Amino acid sequence: MLRERAAHLLAAIQNRRAVVLGDLLYDSFVYGDTHRISREAPVPILSENRRTAMLGGAGNLARNLSSLGAEVRLISVAGTDADGEAAIELVKLACGDATGVVRTPERPTPSKIRYVSNNQQMFCVDRDPTEAIQAHTVSDLLNHIKEALETSDILIVSDYGRGVVTRDLVQAAIALARDAGKPVSVDPRGHDYSRYDGASIIKPNAGELEAETGLTVSSDDEAAAALKALKAQLTRTQAVMVTRGGAGMTLLDETGVIHHHRSRSRDVYDVSGAGDTALAGLSLAMAAGASLKDAMEFADLAAGVAVGKPGTATVSPEEILDAAQAGEEAPDWRVMSRLAMAELSADWRESGLKVGFTNGCFDLLHPGHLSVLRHAASVCDRLIVGLNADASVKRLKGENRPINDQATRATMLASLEMVDRVVIFDEDTPAELISEIRPHVMIKGADYVAEELPGADFIRQSGGEIVLAPLMDGLSTTNIVNRLRQDS
């Protein structure tokens, strides 16, 4: 999707009101290290370092909608247990209030606890309700939905299979939305999608579509055939769409036309929660009046940002703009603005990843640069490269520099496998940028003195480290430029 179109959609979705009906989960993460085996059983012992918690299920969808600029009313069920109390507080942070979450003592709050060592999940503990929601709870949920739809633009159903989205409830909710003239989008779960019939669009992933139809979805033609088979069973549903991972998305729209959207090639770090991000983008674009084809492309753009982040992350409008194409000569999506880079760096740190930073002009990329960048990547989990803007290079190197403009230099750096992100800064030194990104480690060539580096004071005060990478003798852009001038 071109940046101009993405910017138009982002402006249109700001402050849209969404009603989310679905299963609320309380997700917690226990991070630590494993260095020994238990004496009681042949299992590793996790030495806990920290714990974090976030909303899962429909709660993660609500977080994604809020981060994109929407106002969200979450309609769900939570227990009267401690996890329920904690989840309610997180809902208030994400949505402003939690009045749509019905508390019930009959069911525990669905939860997940993931145990992570050295950025690798060891195992996961689930607690799922076994009791069905009772009639009075269904009545309360419908009252909340009816009230919320009066001032909302769309109903979104997020079924995580924890028992909230029953056939009777979802059919009644869809009827309320249709009567109110509001579109309905659905992320389905399990078998028998007839319980969602009447929605504006139903969005399974490839595996879910295969399970529902019994047809394979490994090519464009197969995806189209499976969607047509699914649509034939859902006579009151307007459109169906399937997300196909790296193969993109396929849509059967309300007129019966098939659209294939090919995703851009991306470095995928974590697909957790990307479906919620795609549903948020799709739904808000629909609420803003976009065509389903445009809404699909916008959903893919948002999901593409999400898979570049660890864990169930949200995405911001600025990150989506950074990822959008500016035309045929668009810079790599890994070239980010300062604000978006600071937010992503914070996400990485929160997920336990070691963030590294190096910087330079990188005017004529040569083996000396590659050597330093490889060394930098080897001492961190994610490497950010700060790049001097054209005006900065001119002040530092003279009126005849840079040879390559900043867009060219940024694109070349972003194409390197050892570089995770590139961010351009206008100042002569990266000191201010370093304080915004807050890396764990700063890496520079061995021709520098660590104590004299711009940003060194911040790195030391924040408990970080400075690493000096070995150099390749005689290699520098200035030397190359001087030799070229002599030869000419």
Which residue has 């640069």 as its token pair? Answer: 369
Per residue, what are the HEC states of 394-416?
Answer: HHHHCCCCCCCCHHHHHHHHHCC
**How many other C-beta atoms are found inside a 10 Å radius of the C-beta of residue 470?**
9
Strand order in the sheet with 101-104: 101-104, 71-79, 17-22, 154-158, 184-187, 201-202, 239-243, 249-252, 258-261
What are 183's two structure tokens?
A: 């579109």
What are 140's two structure tokens?
A: 């309360």
As a whole number of angstroms, the distance between CA 86 and CA 403 comes to: 55
Of 382, 362, 356, nearest to 443 (Cα)? 356
Q: Sign of torsion, CA 435 445 374 412?
A: positive
HSE-CB at 323 with a 13 A cutoff on CA atoms is 26
As a whole number of angstroms, the distance between CA 470 and CA 379 comes to: 13
Beta-strand relationship, 24-37 and 44-57? antiparallel
**How many other C-beta atoms are found inside a 10 Å radius of the C-beta of residue 11?**
11
H-helix or E-strand containing 36?
strand 24-37
Active site residues: 276
As a whole number of angstroms, the distance between CA 327 and CA 345 comes to: 27
Strand order in the sheet with 111-117: 44-57, 24-37, 111-117, 120-127
Which residue has 């790195």 as its token pair? Answer: 459
